[in-house]
Structure 1
Amino acid sequence: MIQIEYETQRLSLRFFLVMLVLFLFQTGFGLLLAAQHLDPLLLSGVLNFNIVRAEHTNLGILWILAGFIGTILFVGPLLSKRELAAPWLIKFLFYALLAVVVWNVFTQVLAQQGIAGWWLGQPMLQEGLEYLEAGRIADVVILIGFAILCYVVLRTFPPVKQWNEIHWGLGLGVLALTAVWVFGLFFIERLDLQEYFRWYVVHYWVEGVWEVIHISLVGFLVVLMFKANVKAVGYAVFWGISLVWLSGLLGNAHHYFWIGTPEFWQFWGSLFSALEPLPLIFCFWHIYLDAHHDRKPIANMPAFAFLLGSVVLEQVGAGILGFTMTFALTNVWSHGTWITLSHAHLALFGTFGMLGLSAAYYAVPLMRGIQNFDQRLGKMAFWLVFTGMLGLGFVFAIGGTIQVFVYRTLGLDWFGGDVSGAMQIAKVFVPVFGLIFTIGVALLVFDLLTLGHRPVVTPQADNLASVETHRYAATAEMPRWKQLLTGWEAGVWLLGMWFFGALITLGLLSFNLSGVRAGSPFLPYAMSGIGYSGLLLVTLLFVWRFLSSLNARSTTPQAAAFGTPPAAQPAE
């Protein structure tokens, strides 16, 4: 039976389990939102649309944070080569997280009853600021929780002079996680200035804090999965974090375009927002290099699949789709539409959510002492949630393009139902892809919750498909689709993604043309249809190709068992 190296790593398990439960509930609220788009009167007066949307958004933030905390606590002792400091504080942090979840869920309903917001004199219960709805009492508890996490991590780490780049990334990340939250404690009656402070939290969390933690954790997970060189991974982590802060801090200005702030932000926000994909390209490329450096078979395919999905959707959702809509000349059309939903879902779930799921699939079997487990459920769950999320991204993008034209170009009446009718076909497909995604979520939650409580798969049965693949590889020519993925081919896939991203950008820019504004939607519709279809299809095929190519890591069952590099393949 395999064992974890440090007993305090087990404290992460409770955070992973809470992550899974919250993820399931958040997905349920998402399905309810899709149903309310089709029938706006559904649960009216009981759970209004704005309340369901707030619950969906906030639970998304909370389960992702739970996954981050669980991953940090699991890798912390491995990075430091000693037990976690102050385990009693970690237990307190867990109960504080549960209290914040309960508080957040139930106080959202207060807004529906008119008991919420600073302007109604109820800031202690619920503040009413978008994405920061939690009341002042919950704000303070959250600040204490972040401070505890920061203290535990920094106390666990070795002396600063012994830190490598991953130590620095996580150390600065948890420190910034605490510091940036302070901006969420401000409230100013002047709306434009309040928006400055609100976006300090919302944007800097994503671009300046979560991304730093994400890059560091991705780096250490590939070290664990592939025994990659820590110095080489640290090099990638250093440049990734540097580029994130170079672009992300001033890139915050794309939130300032339309809130009454000075016009010069339109130039600077466009410029630095355009630079934000640079670290994401770097992360995308490095996971290819790390995954292929020794060509050993993958022992835990679900964990790697979710890690790959995290990096790829980071590139597509945060990088490419973020790039297409954060220029002032494109954002003037896309801002506040379903196009934003496409970017947000692929970026938030893809980048940060999938990282937590990857870490859970890596850590849970270790903590439960499972040497071999049936990976079929995990792999099936990955493809369901990955395909479902790509489908949602496509439907949101197409629906948003229609929305821009009929609402912001033709000026049709939103509240009269004209815009809703024009977007109806997109609204019908949201619950379809949402249901695919939900089935995948239910499957992975069941799989992870019951690992160790179901019959353990024998090594022979578990590795049967792998053995057959290696036998086939040793006796015949492997199909091209399953051959080793070269760096040149990976670059072509990446270039293809950005090509379709350029079409999407041109499609949004075309809304500025006089012919389109006069009533001809052909150009933006054609470019968005080709651009979004091509981008998301290339993304799906690339991940399929990447995972299929892992079967080419070894030529015989014996080589797979002992991790022998394939003799027939030339070294890169």
Structure 2
Amino acid sequence: MLKIEYVTQRLSLRFFMLMLVLFAFQVAFGLVIATQHVDPTLLAGVANFNILRAEHTNLGILWILSGFIGTILFVGPLLSHRELAATGLIKFLFWALLAVTIWNVWTQSLAAEGIAGWWAGQPWLQEGLEYLEAGRAADVVIFVGFAILAYILLRTFPPRREWNEIHWGLAIGVVALTFVWLFGVFFVERIDLQEYFRWYVVHYWVEGVWEVIHISLVGFLLVLMFKADVKAVGYAVFWGVAMVWLSGLIGNAHHYFWIGTPEFWQFWGSLFSALEPLPLVFCFWHIYLDAHQDRKPLENAPAFYFILGSVVLEQVGAGILGFTMTFALTNVWSHGTWVTPSHAHLALFGTFGMLGIAAAYYAVPLLRGVKNFDQRLGRIAFWLVFTGMLGIAFGFAIGGTIQVFLYRSMGLSWFGGEIFPAMQFYKILVPIFGLVFTTGAGLLIYDLLTIGYRSRQAPVEEPAAAVRPVRGRWSAQLRGVEAGLWLMGMWIFGAIITLGLLSFNLEVVAKGDPTIPYVLGGIGYPGLLLITLLFVWRFLASLEARPAPAAQAQPSMAPAAVGQGT
């Protein structure tokens, strides 16, 4: 039976299990609020939409963080060739994360009663800022938790002269994770200044620091899965991290447009926001090269499926849809409408959530001692959550386009009843695709939670990946030129979406003719999401057509070169 290399890697398992449980609750909350969009009277007075939405958003951040921590603890010994340091602090970190989660869920209901727990000029119980709703008590515990994580990782790593780019990426990421959080740990009475610092956390923390950790972890997982060259992966990690921070530091200004900050931020925010997709393109291209260059067989299909989904939806959700809506001339229309959650769902779940699930599919079988496991459930779960999330984004995007015209261009009252019927069909689409997503989420949660038990009851002699599919034109080798054409097609549809949002500035639209934005949105959004689905299908079909791995002893999970400087 396969065994892990370092005993302390087992401490990561509890974080992966917590990730799955919190993911289940977040999906449940999401399905309820999607249904409340269709019928606002559902659970009114019992579980109101604004509270459930805050729970949904916060649980999303917490389960993704739990997955990040689990992945970092799992790969830390492999990067360092030694056991994790300070195991007692790791156990404390788990219980602190669990306590913060329970606190966060409980205190959301206090907002409805106007209870913030003011003391010494700070809201200790609940502060009501979007993404930062938990009060100061939770903020302090979170800060201590991040400091512990940074301390554990830096103590575990070898001396700095032995670091490669992946060491540096993770070290920078966990240290920045701690210090950037400080911008959310104080209260400012002026709402424009408070929003200014809140976006420091939301943008620099989520869109900057998380991206650094994401790029580093994706790189190392590819080293483990395909025995990719560490120096080549390190090169990609270095440039990815550099470009994330080069574009993101000033690109944060795209959040400043409408909170009372100086007008010059409209130009600089627009310019550097346009550069933010560059590192995401680089990240995508590096995963293509690592997966295809040596044509090694795909041994753990579910893990790679979710890695690919993470990188592609990062490109589509964070890159393309982020690009379309962050210019001043498009953001003035899209900000605060359903266009925003279309981008947010693909970006947050797609980029960071799928990475945690991918890492769990790689780590949990090893931690459970499962040599071979039936990968069919993982494959099916991926396609359900991937298709479901694309469908949810489509419903939000098209519904948001209608909302922008009626609400922003025509000035119709949101509460007057005119907008609701026009968006109703797309409001229904969200819970329909939400059910597809929920089914996939349930399958993957069941698969990962029970994988050890099921393997003991009915051990799988040969992995499902050993079955070689029938070759065809769709499963032929994916060349770099073809991959580039697929990527170009995504950006062409992104340009169409951008033109659709820009068209709201036209006089003909302002006078009441929505033809141009509706046609461009009706072409751009379905085209982008369909080409994304087809491209992932094509990418994976080409990998699945490779020869099955011959039966042999399992190699070491970490090549010897991983611990060497580059």
Which residue of the partner structure matches residue 419 of structure 2?
Answer: 419
Q: How does 1:349-498 map to 2 (within 5 A)?
A: 349-455=349-455, 462-463=463-464, 466-469=466-469, 478-498=471-491
SS in structure 2 of the partner of residue 2 of structure 1: coil
Deviation at 1:39, TM superposition (A): 1.6
Deviation at 1:459, TM superposition (A): 5.6
Deviation at 1:139, TM superposition (A): 0.8
Deviation at 1:558, TM superposition (A): 7.3
Counterpart residue identity of residue 526, structure 1:
V
Which residue of the partner structure matches residue 568 of structure 1?
Answer: none
Deviations 1:197-248 (A, max 9, x none): 1111111112220000000000000000000000000000000000000001
Would you say the 8 A contact 1:118–1:127 is kept in 2? no
The answer to whether 1:264 aligns with 2:264 is yes
Deviation at 1:467, TM superposition (A): 3.9
SS in structure 2 of the partner of residue 127 of structure 1: strand
Give the TM-score normalised by structure 2. 0.95
Say if 1:559 and 1:89 are closer, same or farther in 2 by CA, change over 3 A.
closer
42-51 vs 169-178, which deviates more?
Answer: 42-51
Distance 1:267 1:187 in 2: 29
Distance 2:45 2:248 in 1: 40
Which residue of the partner structure matches residue 335 of structure 1?
Answer: 335
Deviations 1:345-367 (A, max 9, x none): 00000000000000000000001
Deviations 1:440-479 (A, max 9, x none): 111100000001101466665544x74453xx5xxxxx31
Which residue of the partner structure matches residue 527 of structure 1?
Answer: 520
Would you say the 8 A contact 1:466–1:551 is kept in 2? no
Which residue of the partner structure matches residue 509 of structure 1?
Answer: 502
| Number of equivalenced pairs | 553
Deviation at 1:411, TM superposition (A): 1.1
SS in structure 1 of the partner of residue 109 of structure 2: helix
Would you say the 8 A contact 2:468–2:544 is kept in 1? no
Counterpart residue identity of residue 411, structure 1:
G
SS in structure 1 of the partner of residue 407 of structure 2: helix
Deviations 1:364-397 (A, max 9, x none): 0001111111101010000000000000011100
Distance 1:389 1:145 in 2: 31
Counterpart residue identity of residue 544, structure 1:
W
Distance 2:335 2:38 in 1: 23
Which residue of the partner structure matches residue 138 of structure 2?
Answer: 138
416-425 vs 397-406, which deviates more?
Answer: 416-425
Say if 1:117 and 1:545 are closer, same or farther in 2 by CA, change over 3 A.
farther
Distance 1:79 1:318 in 2: 28
Would you say the 8 A contact 2:122–2:186 is kept in 1? no
Distance 2:152 2:429 in 1: 45
The answer to whether 1:548 aligns with 2:547 is no
Which residue of the partner structure matches residue 567 of structure 1?
Answer: none
Taking only the aligned residue pairs, the percentage that are identical comes to 75
Would you say the 8 A contact 1:24–1:442 is kept in 2? yes
Deviation at 1:293, TM superposition (A): 2.1
Distance 2:49 2:533 in 1: 32
Counterpart residue identity of residue 552, structure 1:
A
Which residue of the partner structure matches residue 168 of structure 2?
Answer: 168
SS in structure 1 of the partner of residue 286 of structure 2: helix
Which residue of the partner structure matches residue 128 of structure 2?
Answer: 128
Counterpart residue identity of residue 337, structure 1:
T
Would you say the 8 A contact 2:468–2:546 is kept in 1? no
Would you say the 8 A contact 1:284–1:315 is kept in 2? yes
Which residue of the partner structure matches residue 57 of structure 1?
Answer: 57
Across the aligned residues of Structure 1 and Structure 2, the Cα RMSD in angstroms comes to 1.7
Larger RCO (alpha carbons 8 Å, 6+ apart)? 2
SS in structure 2 of the partner of residue 451 of structure 1: helix
Distance 1:40 1:498 in 2: 36
Deviation at 1:484, TM superposition (A): 1.0
Deviation at 1:322, TM superposition (A): 0.2
202-211 vs 537-546, which deviates more?
Answer: 202-211
Distance 2:368 2:431 in 1: 36
Deviations 1:294-350 (A, max 9, x none): 212111100000000000000000000000000000000000000000000000000
Distance 1:46 1:97 in 2: 27
SS in structure 2 of the partner of residue 112 of structure 1: helix
Would you say the 8 A contact 1:207–1:249 is kept in 2? no
Distance 2:338 2:544 in 1: 39
Say if 1:481 and 1:271 are closer, same or farther in 2 by CA, change over 3 A.
same
Which residue of the partner structure matches residue 290 of structure 2?
Answer: 290
Which residue of the partner structure matches residue 106 of structure 1?
Answer: 106
